[in-house]
Each structure stands twice: as structure tokens, then as C-alpha cells.
Amino acid sequence: MELLEEKKNKNRKYEPILEGIPDWPVYQLSKNRKEFIELVTQQSIIRIKALRPTRKQLIDDLEATAYREQNRIKRNRWRVDPKDDSRFWSYVKNELVELSSKDPETTGPIVDALLEKIVNRYANEIAGNFKPNSYRFTREVVKFWFQRLLNGARVKKFGAFFRNQYTLRDKIQVVGKVRMLRDLAKKGTVIMVPTHFSNLDSILIGWVIHAVGLPAFIYGAGLNLFNIKIFAYFMNSLGAYKVDRRKKNLPYLETLKMYSSLAIQKGAHSLFFPGGTRSRSGLIEKQLKLGLLSTAIEAQRNLYQQTPEGEVRKIFVVPVTLNYNFVLEAPDLIEDYLQVKGQDKYFPEQDKYGSMELLRFMFKFFTKGSNISVSIGPGLDVMGNYVDEAGNSLDPQGRIIDTRGYFISNGSITDDKQREDEYTRMLSQRIVSEYHRINRVFASHLAAFVAFEMWQKNILNWICSTCYACRKKTWNWTITNTARPLNGFEKGFTN
């Protein structure tokens, strides 16, 4: 086994598909950041007003938003939250209270202004800040230090630290349809949808994207990651935009979706973790979050609508699975998982990981002879049909089909939310089945799984022999968990 891993990896180096950073869509986006945020704000307001047609409904929603935001500030504050958060939301609340005493006829402009302030604030918070210089710097830092650490840990010779025997390419295996991914990125906009196990995923994927020669993607990264200063710097420079899972209110969600949809329409390659959050049990995601995924379909429909005839920039969905031998935050993930399984409805959104734990993980990562594997799946169109290298959608018999037709009703392209919700659901099922096709199982996964099954049996025998009353309950619990945590018990194996 060890021998196999030490063998020189055949991963080859890929030339970048777009030479200069100024050509990258993500750079264009951040260069015109102000205009883009303005566009997002205006479009989101239109959307929100369409969803809440009467002023009464709109005010109700704003009140709910203000209430929840104040609650969040009281209960669950993060380091990354802006300083004036509490001031802003009490201002909003006061404005809303004053509204109730005013003549309903005159409240229109006030509500509109308030909505715009809120949406604009959200858009500013969400928007990424890609800087070419800091991107280059980050890239070099990551490469340099990873390489130093890797060689320092693995090469058993004097001066190992400065050797170049190993590179990240040896550590991270990229397999699957790399060439196709590169082709598709030249022809259209790529949306990568990886599985999500670890906070490290974002950085890992960032490296992979660079390694296969693609321009930087925009990410929806959890705002909690920005609590860690060092992560925040990396993320920002890699083109991440921020997703705050604490905010579930309508204005926020619509702004977020609009940001993603418009960025895709502008041609920015994007990355979603469609599982929404890290997989707590180690199972591959079965239920995907449909919110951001729906923006891909919406963006494609908008592109078709804007160009009624001829070629349209197509959007391609590329499923990717990430496989680790062990996961940095496994103990915490397990704890979370058990809490949920234990019917405890309380679910804390805290991350205890700081820079120290990160370093410790890095050390483990480089010293253990374990690799990370990244499997890149075949490209799909937004309806989940396979595409060929030229970007044409294919039906199961291999015939070329026109994706535009899916949005046509009565002879013209129509905007039908219910239809697109259904399409999103279908796309997510396709992605899940692709995950299962391209996923790789490591020896450690198998060992952990078998160990868990054995342990479970023993525990069961013990419980059954001691207590008849709870046997039924235990059985239920285990039956629902038979296809269970792979990463869960890896900590025990790697320590």
C-alpha cells in the first residue's frame, strides 16, 4: 500500500485556458463591483416586490426580518458581523414602529427606501472581493508552504524542508473528466457542485481549479469561515462571496439568489456546495439545497430570453466528489450528527476551530501517507442531460437536443417559477446520482465502516441481553443508520 502511494503521481500539469487575469469573468465582476451590487439590489427589489405584491405583506416581511435579525444579534454573534449591526437593525425597527402610526397612504416611499437599504446592505455583505494581486499572492503562498511542509514531512533526508521531491500534485489526485471541464469552461459558464465534508473543501477546490488551468470561480462560502482571519483572507482573494446560514429571511435569500444568478449570467464560473452544509454523518448528500441550484436554471432561462435567436452562452453543471482519508473536524461533525439524531432540536451554529487547529490538521495532513482524491464528473446541462465536449446537450440515445426547448411554452420562452422549481428538483436528483457514480471509496472508509458495523452489533447484543424494553427503540435507530458514517470513526484510526 505504502509503495503504491509513494509512486510518482501521473497527474499532469495543465496550461491555463485564459492567459491574463484581466480576462477572467470573476475579475470583471469585482472591477465593476459597485455597479454590480447596484444591479443586484435593484433586481432583488423587483423580485421581492413581485413575491410580496401588497404593501401590507411587504411590511410584514420587513418586520419579521428586523425581529429575526435582532434576535440573531442577541443570541448568536460572530466576529465577522459588522460593528454597526445592532444600530442598523434598531433603526429599521424604529422606522417600522413609526410606520404603524402613519397614514397608510404616505408610507409607500418610506417602505421602499427601507427595503432598498436592507437589500443594499445584504448585497454588500454577500458580494465577493476578488483582487488579482492577493489572488496571485495567495496562490504562491499556498503552493510554497504546502510544498515545503509536504517535503519536510515526507522526505527523510537532510534539508528535506527545501527539497522539491513532492508537490501538491502528488498529494491531491484529480481524476475524471478534466479535459472536458476545461473545454466546457471555454465554451460556457461552469457551475461546479462538489460534495462537502470539511471546511478545507473550499481551499482544496480552489487549488484544484487553479491546477487544471481554470480561472478562479466564485464561491458561496459560509460566513462562519470568515471568522477565522487567515481563512477570510484566502477566501476573499479566491473570489468567495458570503453565505450566512443564520439569515433565513426573505430579503436576504432573494438577494443571495439574485447575486448568484446575475453573476452566472455575467459568465462567472461558480461553485456551490449543494449539500448546503458539511455532511455531518459522512454520507454523501442525498437531499440537496435547491435555492442556489435554482439560480443556475433561472440564469440559463434569462440568457435564452435575452437572445431569442442564435447561439447562447450555455451553463454547465459539473458534479465533483471530494474524498479524504480523514476529516479535520470529524469529532465535531459527529457530535452535531448525534445531536440531531438524538431529536435535540437545538442546533448550535458555532465553529470552534481557530488557526491552531488548522495548523495541527495541516501537520497531520502532510505527515500521514494519505491522499485526497478529487473526482470530476461529466458535464451536465441545467436539465441534467449529459453534454459532449462541444457543449451540446445529448439525450440518452446520444442525439443532440436544444436546451432552449425546456423553457418554451406556447411557442415562446416563458417565466414559470413552478416549472423551474420542478426542474431544480430534477437537476438535484441527477447530481446526486452522479455523485454516487463518481465517488471513490478509500481503504480507511471501508475499515471505519466495517468497524462501525461490528461495534454496532456488539452494542446491540449487549443492549438486547440487558434491556428488553428499549430493544425496539435501538433497532429503529440502527436501521435508519445502517448506511452510515464513514468519516465518523476515522479519528480513531488516524491518531
Partner 1 sequence: MILSSTSEKPVGVIGAGNFGTVIANILAHSRKVLLYTRDEQTAVRIKSENQNKGYPLHANVEPVHDLQQIATQCDVLFPIVPSAHFRAMMRQLSPYLQPYHILIHGTKGFDITLPEGQSLENVTKLTRQQVKTMSEVIQEESVVVRVGCLAGPNLAKELAQRQPGATVVASHFNEVIQLGKRLLRNDRFQVYENNDIVGVEIAGVLKNIIAIASGALSGLGYGENAKGLLISRGAVEMVYLGRALGGDLKAFLGVAGIGDLVTTCNSPMSRNFTVGYRLAKGEKLPDILADMTEVAERCKHSAHCQKNVLIITKFALLLPTGCTKCFLKE
**In the bound complex, what is the minimum distance in angstroms from residue 297's beta carbon to partner 1?**
12
Cell of 298: 433561472
Looking at beta carbons only, is 469 or 479 nearer to partner 1?
479
What b/e string do you get for 310-331 counting C-beta neighbours within 10 Å, with b at 16 or more? eebbbbbbbbbbbbbbbbbbbe
Pairing of strands 408-409, 412-413: antiparallel
Q: Does 419 bind partner 1 (CB under 8 A)?
A: yes
Give CA–CA dist 263/220, Å, rounded: 12
Task: Out of 252, 272, 273, 423, point to the residue binding partner 1 (CB under 8 A).
Answer: 423
Sign of CA dihedral 268, 274, 279, 282: negative
Instruction: Find where cell 454590480 sits.
Output: 36
Q: Does 385 bind partner 1 (CB under 8 A)?
A: yes
Looking at beta carbons only, is 186 or 436 nearer to partner 1?
436
Residue 339-378 contact track with partner 1, rule CB under 8 A, x = bound: ----------------------------------------
Give CA–CA dist 74/79, Å, rounded: 13
Which residue stretch of 245-253, 362-370, 394-402, 482-490 sits at the interface with partner 1 (rule: CB under 8 A)? Answer: 394-402
Looking at beta carbons only, is 54 or 412 nearer to partner 1?
412
Sign of CA dihedral 404, 409, 410, 416: negative
Task: Out of 7, 74, 157, 399, point to the residue binding partner 1 (CB under 8 A).
Answer: 399
**In the bound complex, what is the minimum distance in angstroms from residue 479's beta carbon to partner 1?**
17
Quick one: 169 exposed, middle or buried, by C-beta within 10 A (0-12, 13-18, 19+)? Answer: middle
Which residue stretch of 67-75, 149-157, 418-426, 485-493 sits at the interface with partner 1 (rule: CB under 8 A)? Answer: 418-426
Q: Does 5 bind partner 1 (CB under 8 A)?
A: no
**In the bound complex, what is the minimum distance in angstroms from residue 312's beta carbon to partner 1?**
12
Q: Does 482 bind partner 1 (CB under 8 A)?
A: no
Task: Out of 23, 84, 422, 453, point to the residue binding partner 1 (CB under 8 A).
Answer: 422
Q: Does 426 bind partner 1 (CB under 8 A)?
A: yes
Asked if 200 and 328 count as a contact pair (C-beta separation under 8 A), the reply is yes
Task: Out of 395, 467, 475, 493, point to the residue binding partner 1 (CB under 8 A).
Answer: 395
Task: Out of 106, 133, 418, 466, point to the residue binding partner 1 (CB under 8 A).
Answer: 418
Looking at beta carbons only, is 426 or 459 nearer to partner 1?
426
**In the bound complex, what is the minimum distance in angstroms from residue 239's beta carbon to partner 1?**
33
Where do contacts with partner 1 occur on this chain (CB under 8 A)?
A: 308-309, 383, 385, 395-397, 399, 401-406, 408-412, 416, 418-419, 422-423, 426
